[in-house]
Amino acid sequence: MATIFSRIIAGEIPCHKIAENEEFFAFLDINPVAVGHTLVVPKQEVDYIFDIDDDALGRMMAFAKRVAHAQKAAIPCKRIGLTVIGLEVPHAHIHLIPMTKESDIYFGKGKLNPSQEELSEVAEKIRKGYK
């Protein structure tokens, strides 16, 4: 059965898309730990990120870098933090999180619950800076 992220990539489940190329897809996390929290996923279903082959993992990081620059331009923050967890959704993904202090990237503090309108506005801002 397709993962929830594959269903998002296929357009079966709505998302607030940021960018995509032939191999990767970026969209807002629905329950962000910070405003602008974005997920980068490979279109090919792989559960564990370190099962991705070296070259594809490099390309995934290069794609994430472009998304991070767009986030940085759109969201007031010091830098974009990166983390990999993968305990909830068995489809490899990188969390890209705007942060000003260390706790901004801490998942144990609980998540935000933005409205669809808020997510839509944030996604629009980030998309404008994606090059």
Pick the catalytic residue: 16, 37, 91, 93?
Answer: 93
Is 93 an active-site residue? yes
The minimum distance between CB 4 and ligand AMP, in angstroms, equals 5
CA dist 66 → 12, 48, 72, 112, 119 (Å): 26, 22, 10, 24, 20
- The angle formed by the CA atoms of residues 29, 32 and 34, to the nearest 5 degrees, is 130
Regarding 31 and contact with ligand AMP (CB under 6 A), the answer is yes
**Sign of CA pseudo-dihedral 115, 25, 130, 107:** positive
Residue 113 is given by DSSP the state: -
Compute CA 66 distance to the chain's CA centroid, rounded to the nearest angstrom. Answer: 12
Specify the residue, 7 or 65, whose C-beta has the smaller distance to ligand AMP: 7
Q: Binding of ligand AMP at residue 18 (CB under 6 A)?
A: no
Using CB under 6 A, count the residues that bind ligand AMP.
Answer: 12
The verdict on 129 binding ligand AMP (CB under 6 A) reads no
Q: Is residue 85 close enough to count as binding ligand AMP by CB under 6 A? A: yes
Q: Does 46 bind ligand AMP (CB under 6 A)?
A: no
Catalytic sites, residue numbers? 93
